[in-house]
Amino acid sequence: MAEEVLLFGFWGSPFSRRVEMVLKLKGIEYKYTDEDFSNKSPSLLKYNPIHKKVPVFVHNGKHLAESLVILEYIDETWKDHPILPKDPYERANARFWAKFIDDKYLSAIWKSCTCEKEEREKAVEETSELLQFLENELKEQKYFGGETIGLVDIAANIIGYWLEIFEEAFGVELLRKEKFPKLCNWASEFVSVSAIKENLPPSDKLIAFLQNRFGVGNASK
């Protein structure tokens, strides 16, 4: 049976890259379209009229938006390399952390990088508290998912890769090795997994994009 799998994304977005990471992990072939934010394609607007955002995933004509919703759909449809555990309590735990990451982290990192100088210290402290939760959650495991990467690892791609990009682009230090040894270790393990490595945007290109788009000359160290 011929499967038609489409993904509308943005090369720099951690959210659309999450979907690519899982598709790669499960060996699913797909057709990718990169979106230009200043000129969103008719397809994107048609498939995601509510949020008008990437990623948008289309499987045999059925379309979905919201990265975590898409990830669970992919996991339920293609059963190889599951990203959620079988036990209901562990599944609830994974969903909890994935949602927490989505709700809090990117906005906290963003705030730390782009706020006014006098607010910087407080914003960095708040981000630090958030990072501490994940540092604690790792315990002695290699990944949040245990021995293999799972939903939380993929949701945490923001911390695993994009965080360092933001740090470099905006000259802010957020993930210090002395303070977050497990999280730093996890990040280097995470980015060396081949399904992940192949789906990371080039750092210099992303740094340049962020600096150009968001006028990094305004942020002071």
Partner 1 sequence: MAKHDVKVLGTWYSPPGMRPRIALNIKSVKYEFLEETMAPKSELLLQSNPVHKKIPVLIHGDKPICESMIIVEYIDEVWTSGPSILPSDPYDRAIQRFWAAYVDEKWLAAMIGLRSAQGEERKAFLDQVTEGLALLEEAFGKCSKGKAFFGGDRIGLLDIAFGSLLGWLKLTEKVNGVKLLDEAKTPGLVKWAERFCADAAVKSVMPETEKLLEFSKVVAAKMKGAPPPKN
Q: Decide the pairing of beta strands 31-34 and 5-9.
A: parallel
Shortest distance, CB of residue 126 to partner 1, whole angstroms? 14
Q: Is residue 81 a contact point for partner 1 (CB under 8 A)?
A: no
Q: Does 72 bind partner 1 (CB under 8 A)?
A: yes
Distances (CA, A) of 18 to 5, 128, 194: 15, 23, 13
User: 57: Cβ–Cβ under 8 A, 6 or more apart, which residues?
Assistant: 5, 6, 7, 8, 19, 63, 64, 65, 70, 73, 74
Residues 25-64 vs partner 1: string with x where CB under 8 A?
-------------------------x--------x--x-x
Q: Give the CB-side neighbour count of residue 67, counting CA atoms within 13 A.
A: 29
- Using CB under 8 A, which residues numbered 99 to 128 contact partner 1? 99-100
Q: How far is the CB of 204 from partner 1 (least distance, A)?
A: 34
Closest CB to partner 1 among residues 59, 120:
59
Contact status, residue 27 vs residue 80, Cβ threshold 8 Å: yes
Which position among 73, 110, 209, 214 is part of the footprint of partner 1 (CB under 8 A)?
A: 73
Binding-site size for partner 1 (CB under 8 A) equals: 22
- Residue 68 is encoded by which pair of tokens? 């975590």
Nearer to partner 1, 20 or 72 (CB): 72
| Candidate list 26, 40, 81, 95; residue touching partner 1; CB under 8 A | 95
Which string of x and - marks every residue 144-183 that binds partner 1 (by CB under 8 A)?
----------------------------------------
How many residues can be counted in the chain?
Answer: 221
83 Cβ contact partners less than 8 Å away, ≥ 6 residues apart: 22, 25, 71, 75, 145, 149, 150, 151, 154
For partner 1, the binding residue among 92, 119, 141, 146 (CB under 8 A) is: 92
Q: What is the largest CA-CA distance in the chain?
A: 59
Q: Under the criterion CB under 8 A, does residue 133 sit at the interface with partner 1?
A: yes
Task: Say whether 106 sits in a helix, a strand or coil.
Answer: helix
Which residues form the interface with partner 1 (CB under 8 A)?
Answer: 50, 59, 62, 64-66, 68-70, 72-73, 76-77, 88-89, 91-92, 95-96, 99-100, 133
